[in-house]
Amino acid sequence: MDVLVTGSHGFIAGALLPRLRAHDHRVVRLVRGTPVGPDEVHWDPDADEIDAERLAGIDAVVHLAGAGIGDKKWTPERKALILQSRTRGTGLLARTLAAMATPPAVLVSGSAIGYYGNRGDEVLTEDSGPGDDFTAEVCQAWESATEPAVDAGIRVVTVRSGIVLAADGGVLKRLLLPFKLGLGGRVASGKQYMSWITLDDEVGAIVHLLSADGVRGPVNLVAPEPATNARLTDALGRALHRPTILPTPLAPLKVLYGSELVQSLLVDGQRVSSAKLVASGYAFAHPQLDNAMAAVLRAPAA
Q: If pLDDT is split at 50, 70 and 90, which confidence band does 301 have?
A: very low
What percent of the chain clears pLDDT 70, i.e. is strictly above it? 99
For residue 185, tell me if it sits in a domain: no
For residue 204, tell me if it sits in a domain: yes
For residue 281, tell me if it sits in a domain: yes
For residue 93, tell me if it sits in a domain: yes
Q: pLDDT tens digits for 29-42?
A: 999 989 988 899 99
* pTM score above 0.85: yes
Q: pLDDT tens digits for 28-75?
A: 999 998 998 889 999 999 999 999 999 999 999 999 999 999 889 999
Indicate which CATH number applies to the domain containing 47: 3.40.50.720
For residue 265, tell me if it sits in a domain: no
Overall domain count for the chain? 1
Between CA 216 and CA 236 the distance in angstroms is 34
**Would the pLDDT of 300 be above 60?**
no
For residue 255, tell me if it sits in a domain: no
For residue 246, tell me if it sits in a domain: no
For residue 301, tell me if it sits in a domain: no
Range of the domain at 44: 2-164+195-224+271-286
Q: pLDDT tens digits for 245-277?
A: 888 888 988 998 999 999 999 999 999 999 999
pLDDT of residue 176: 86
